[in-house]
Amino acid sequence: MNIAYIVNQYPTVSHSFIRREILALEELNLSITRFSHRDCSDKIVDELDLCELKKTNVILKSGAVGLLSALLRVALTRPKRWFEALLLALKLGWLAAGWLSGNGIVRHIIYLAEACVLLEWFSRLDISHVHSHFGTQPTTVVLLCNTLGGPPYSFTVHGPEEFDNVRGMGLPEKIQQASFVIAVSLFGRSQLYRWCEYSQWSKIHVIRCGLDKTFLSQPWQPIPDEPRFVCVGRLSEQKGQLLLVEAVSQLVAEGFTLKLVLVGDGAMREEIETLITNRGLQDTIEITGWATQAQVQQQILAARAMVLPSFAEGLPVVIMESLALGRPVISTYIAGIPELIEPGQSGWLVPAGSVEALAASMRTVLQCPVSELEQMGKRGAERVALQHNILLEAEKLAQLFASQKE
């Protein structure tokens, strides 16, 4: 069975969980061909991602001429299906932005052209099933490709983007036409239930993002005495780093000495740096920029706890990584996070948006005996090993792929 994997950007620093899933499926002897909408080679910092880059086909490298040529060829060879796909693209474009704006329509015509390119590639490569990650652009393109007569498809929904604009991205239509749909948490599955008929519920499955042996088989390393926190993630509004800076400012004002390392980069870096300067925290908070997997591991291991005060999430992989390395986690009562963090057992959960609650949990970590933190970390590692082993999760996915042949 030849399976195509399609992602908007692959490989890239924030999609290591997709790489792990693909490699685990290949260990199970499935044939996986990688596709990415965009070339993201300039964002790669990890050697493992550089290896994946060589295996990945980039759709937009076809260029405008290639896209237009494929669009015309499919229109001539499959006029009925092409017209059906065109109507669907126009409908999805209207749902996305309305007829008056025009932007949604033009964008979805481009998606139709991408679908035509994929249809021809899939035919040459004898692809029998397509799986996309995220219910956004990649799934729009595979939906259109399927309408053109391409192979059946499935997709993984992570959130929060898919749940922010369900109708605008045509999520009900994508679920309806899919062979099956994956949610990465029970919360995610419940949100998908909201947007499809009860008769469709049986096709929605929970398969969690997983970790490989580079995290699950790491030897135990004691938690350091240094009062150090780490936050790993894109510097974006949904991750709540500005709130974290305010919480650190409050703790410093109370007389605590601590260090916070923000591992990552993103659109809000300048705003975060400005707030750090305004609060006089240049010696307390460090921003590293993007990091390799090995560097992320070292930053987590150097900390007493990982903190992620997110406002919107699916189920952050970095929480799994931190717990697997034996570090308790502070995060928020949102989305799938409470399915992984047990308050008082493997970490702390606080109301999203509360500086006071966030500072209180960080204060607890600073005052907590290291031995107690280590017990929390070990309980978290046990939970992750049970729920987020990528080989076990990939086996569930492989069974779903195999069921499509029956």
Per-residue pLDDT at 100? 53
**In this structure, what CATH number is given to the domain that contains residue 337?**
3.40.50.2000
Shared domain for 291 and 176, answered yes or no, is no
Shared domain for 179 and 248, answered yes or no, is no
**Residue 102 pLDDT class (50, 70, 90 cuts):** low
**Residue 98 pLDDT class (50, 70, 90 cuts):** low
Per-residue pLDDT at 188? 97
Could you tell me which residues come within 8 angstroms of residue 198 by beta carbon, excluding any fewer than 6 positions away?
none
Per-residue pLDDT at 71? 98
The values of phi and psi at residue 310, to 5°, are: -65, 150
Shared domain for 75 and 180, answered yes or no, is yes
Shared domain for 137 and 86, answered yes or no, is yes
3-state secondary structure of 330: strand
Residue given tokens 């903190």 in the structure block: 307
| Structural domain of 217 | 213-387
Could you tell me which residues come within 8 angstroms of residue 290 by beta carbon, excluding any fewer than 6 positions away?
13, 43, 45, 264, 265
The amino acid occupying position 392 is: L
Per-residue pLDDT at 406? 56
Per-residue pLDDT at 99? 56
Q: Please give the tally of structural domains in the chain.
A: 2
Shared domain for 244 and 352, answered yes or no, is yes
Q: From CA 391, how far away is CA 212, in angstroms rounded?
A: 7
Q: Read off the pLDDT of residues 231-269 as tens digits, 9 standing for 90 and up.
A: 999 999 999 999 999 999 999 999 999 999 999 999 999
Shared domain for 256 and 125, answered yes or no, is no
Confirm if 218 and 324 have CB atoms less than 8 A apart. Answer: yes
Shared domain for 112 and 63, answered yes or no, is yes
Shared domain for 195 and 46, answered yes or no, is yes
Confirm if 291 and 263 have CB atoms less than 8 A apart. Answer: yes
Q: Which secondary-structure segment (H or E) carries 153?
A: strand 153-157
Q: Please tell me the pTM assigned to this model.
A: 0.94
Shared domain for 224 and 187, answered yes or no, is no
- Provide DSSP, 243-297: HHHHHHHHHHHTT---EEEEEB--TTHHHHHHHHHHTT-TTTEEEEES--HHHHH
Shared domain for 346 and 383, answered yes or no, is yes
Average confidence score pLDDT of the chain: 95
Q: Read off the pLDDT of residues 305-363 as tens digits, 9 standing for 90 and up.
A: 999 999 999 999 999 999 999 999 999 999 999 999 999 999 999 999 999 999 999 99
The b/e string for 348-367 (b: 16+ C-beta within 10 A; e otherwise) is: bbbebeebebbbbbbbebbe
Shared domain for 263 and 304, answered yes or no, is yes
Per-residue pLDDT at 97? 76
- Provide DSSP, 205-222: EE----B-HHHHTPPP-P
Shared domain for 363 and 223, answered yes or no, is yes
Q: From CA 55, how far away is CA 73, in angstroms rounded?
A: 27
